[in-house]
Structure 1
Amino acid sequence: MSCPIPPNEKARLAALYELALLDTPNEPVFDRITRLATKLLSVPVATVSLMDAKRQWFKARLGLSMREVPRDIAFCAYPVMEAAPLIVEDACKDSRFAQNPLVTESQGIRFYAGIPLKNSQGLVLGTLCVTDTRPRELSEMDFKALLDLADIVTDEIKLRERVVREQKEKEASQRALSKLHHSLEAQIEQRTHELRLVIETAYDGYASIDAHNRVLDWNLAAATMFGWTRDEALGQPISTLMLPDGVPSDAEKAPVTTQATRRDGGLLPVEVRCKSLAFHDRQWRSLFIHDISERQQLERLRDQQAREDVLTKLANRRALDERLPEAMARARRLKKPLAVLFLDLDGFKRVNDNYGHGVGDELLREVAKRLTASARETDFVARWAGDEFVLILEGVEPEAITPLAQKIIRRVEQPLTMGEATLAISTSIGVAMYLPDAPETAQQLVKRADVAMYEAKRAGKAQVRIA
């Protein structure tokens, strides 16, 4: 069979190989997506796949024994080529796939839905797909859920890209420093003037210290970082100027991250690398000090973004998966109950249909604000998916749950005016109580709340049901 090839195939493969995800072990972050996909869409098979030059390789798979298939028979080759979702309701009726061995075999594929997974440059590296052995239609809600799951995988791919890029930059920096060290060892006397110029214009701080840890040299970057001029620093112990505990003992083996002290008493996170030198019975050590405050800030921001819903700025499902087991552990330790509220907006689809997704997004942001305002400081509010939200209430008594949930319903029902339109929605809430002695997992607890929410919808919407 012929295999569709996108016009940017060379760049696409280069980006895929640079990511270094092919032929790697399973990882929980991807396995969790396939589990959620099979549960949310009620399908037997879900995969997170990467499209290599001649094969489709599965990074995560559920309901499928094989680890890869030839690219020329892979359904996912089409969404990779077109960079757009592909839905096949009945493969036997689709001329592209009717004779495909994956379809003609016993219990072969009849239904397929695949979402492209793109990197930060928009190159399609693979797909999130679900399949079934019987024909079926994909509802709009199921399609949105699949898109949401694909967005989570895409965010993880982009995070891996940044990590790879930062690692390369770090390695390049280390190679440059190593080259400078060799230069110092080989030409310390012959090229004193050139060395002084390099040190003075270096971005990193540099200090040379003797056997008693007193400063022999101090460059401009060090003066800027720590507030001591070169004349003030010369002859002073390094512990007085920036490293109260002295030079880290492992700094000669590899860069060491530590907290340095500035002249004004402030702390500065730095990476310290040390090199011992000897010449004509004279011994000293060269210290290279790199300010990593910006890098740490970026790492904190990256960690926050990985756990934050982009649209509403609430915690996302990944953050909820981390927070709920911790909250359950506290409930067991403190012997206090815990409640999970699962909310689904009533009438949200009508808003999207009548006013467009832009208005729908603004409505979701407003609902997020109202839920946050309704919660206590110790409560946890997360966006589950689409127009679904989850609240974790710790230390709450059972009799207080219903009044609190009804208060949330009233607040969500308050009309929202956007331009000439007045939007009115409500919410259905399912509640699951967790008692400290209950043998229940976090996933089971959320599932109970989800089921109770659907009972509230069937009861007429804008209702509260306790599991």
Structure 2
Amino acid sequence: MKAPVIPANEPERLHSLQESGLLELDTSPAFDRLTRLAKRFFNVPLAMVNIIDDQQLIAKSVDGEAVTPYPRNVSFCGYTILSTTALVVVDTLRDARFADNPFVIGQPGFRFYAGFPLRLRDGASVGTLCIFDYAPREFTDTDLSVLCDLGALAEDEFAAVSAATTDELTGLFNRRGFNQFVRFTLSVARRRAEPLTLGWMDLDHFKQINDQYGHEEGDKALKVMAGLLRASFREADLLVRFGGDEFAVLFADTDEQGAWIAMHYLTEQVAHYNERKLHPWTLQFSWGVSEFDHNRNDQQQWLKKADENMFTMKQHRGLVR
């Protein structure tokens, strides 16, 4: 099959997606309601709300059987985001774009698709609301109108997620909140000639917690980590869940040595918590710190350095190869 082309504004599109907070969203009752409604109204076996990043399609809500994520270059939705209107394929075997698609000629054997492109407030097309069937079918003007109405509701939810500055699960700042706050913090630190240090953390073996004990226990682990961050650091420090199992702390008026001491204190508090054996899993994390250089750094270099220092710790522990 011919892969969908990459939009001309792809760098800007991906930047908007990264800043939106949608990639970090684990679950959404609002999206789940929309896929339930779509599946029931259209009487189809599968309805989805998806995000399309640089390489793959990531499902944020699925009602029906679907294997996700899957490659963008063989996705129907990769074509949908190229348009401002819905894409309807009444018979995939009669459409040159999809007739030899592996999901058409192989399992699960899709023969019908309809998808609505979901945009952020800045116009970036970053996802889809779509439905599938295993047999060809007609799609009336009324059907199209309903799909567009459901898509508009999904876009409203996209906007709500993008406007939020706190992580729903942990109550910490999210990526968007961090990006909004850090510019102000850097400006104040420069004017006052104060040190500013970033601590970057990544939970070790978090995937194993999800795989072995389930996502509910994984969520508990994230909440526990957030609680230990609050208990270990000052109110003036900015606590962030960047997404997934990544956390950060912005230490105000603190140099790298001071941040190092604070991170060691957190390590001790995590160890004490593990000794209580309240869960079938234990919390472990790797970390790195980086002090902002007011003369040389920009924000991205600073974040990258903290992440690199964290990654070095993982390497020393044999967690990555």
Q: Normalising to structure 2: TM-score of the pair? A: 0.55
Distance 1:29 1:316, change over 3 A: farther
Q: 2 CA distance for matches of 1:364 and 1:156?
A: 28
Superimposed CA distance per residue, residues 290-310 of structure 1 (whole angstroms, 9 cap, x where no aligned partner): xxxxxxxxxxxx99x711101
Shift of 1:118: 8.1
**Who is 1:50 aligned against?**
none
Q: 2 CA distance for matches of 1:35 and 1:83?
A: 30
Q: 2 CA distance for matches of 1:117 and 1:422?
A: 42
**Which of 450, 453, 458 pairs up with 2:310?**
453
Q: 2 CA distance for matches of 1:410 and 1:365?
A: 18
Structural mapping, 1:67-466, within 5 Å: 85=68, 87-88=70-71, 91=74, 100=97, 127=127, 157-158=156-157, 160=159, 306-413=164-271, 414-415=273-274, 417-418=277-278, 421-438=279-296, 440-460=297-317
**Who is 1:32 aligned against?**
16
Distance 1:117 1:344, change over 3 A: farther
Relative to total residues, which structure has the larger strand share, 1 or 2? 1
Please state whether the residue corresponding to 2:312 is helix, strand or coil: helix
Q: RMSD between aligned alpha carbons?
A: 4.9
Distance 1:34 1:337, change over 3 A: closer
Please state whether the residue corresponding to 1:422 is helix, strand or coil: coil
Superimposed CA distance per residue, residues 46-87 of structure 1 (whole angstroms, 9 cap, x where no aligned partner): xxxxxxxxxxxxxx9998xxxxxxxxxxx99xx999796451
Tell me the amino acid that sits aligned with residue 402 of structure 1.
W
Shift of 1:116: 9.5
Q: 2 CA distance for matches of 1:97 and 1:399?
A: 65
Q: 2 CA distance for matches of 1:97 and 1:36?
A: 37
Please state whether the residue corresponding to 2:280 is helix, strand or coil: strand
Shift of 1:354: 1.4
Shift of 1:35: 8.0
Shift of 1:29: 9.2
Count of aligned positions: 220
Q: 1 CA distance for matches of 2:198 and 2:71?
A: 37
Tell me the amino acid that sits aligned with residue 305 of structure 2.
R
Q: 1 CA distance for matches of 2:281 and 2:231?
A: 19
Distance 1:126 1:338, change over 3 A: closer
Q: Please tell me whether Structure 1 or Structure 2 has the larger radius of gyration of its CA atoms.
A: 1
Q: Structure 1 unaligned runs (5+)?
A: 2-24, 41-59, 64-74, 105-114, 120-124, 129-153, 163-301, 463-467
Shift of 1:449: 1.0
Tell me the amino acid that sits aligned with residue 156 of structure 2.
I
Superimposed CA distance per residue, residues 251-276 of structure 1 (whole angstroms, 9 cap, x where no aligned partner): xxxxxxxxxxxxxxxxxxxxxxxxxx
Superimposed CA distance per residue, residues 365-417 of structure 1 (whole angstroms, 9 cap, x where no aligned partner): 01101011111121000100111101101111332222211111222233164
Q: 2 CA distance for matches of 1:319 and 1:390?
A: 12
| Higher relative contact order, chain-length normalized (CA < 8 Å, sep 6+) | 2
Q: 2 CA distance for matches of 1:81 and 1:353?
A: 22
Tell me the amino acid that sits aligned with residue 17 of structure 2.
I
Tell me the amino acid that sits aligned with residue 316 of structure 1.
N
Please state whether the residue corresponding to 1:424 is helix, strand or coil: coil
Q: 1 CA distance for matches of 2:212 and 2:311?
A: 24
Q: Structure 2 unaligned runs (5+)?
A: 2-8, 25-50, 76-91, 102-114, 120-124, 129-152
Shift of 1:362: 1.0
Please state whether the residue corresponding to 1:389 is helix, strand or coil: strand
Q: Normalising to structure 1: TM-score of the pair? A: 0.39
Between the two proteins, what is the percent identity of the paired residues?
Answer: 24
Asked if the contact 2:52–2:126 (Cα under 8 Å) also holds between the matched residues in 1, the reply is no
Q: 2 CA distance for matches of 1:461 and 1:409?
A: 18
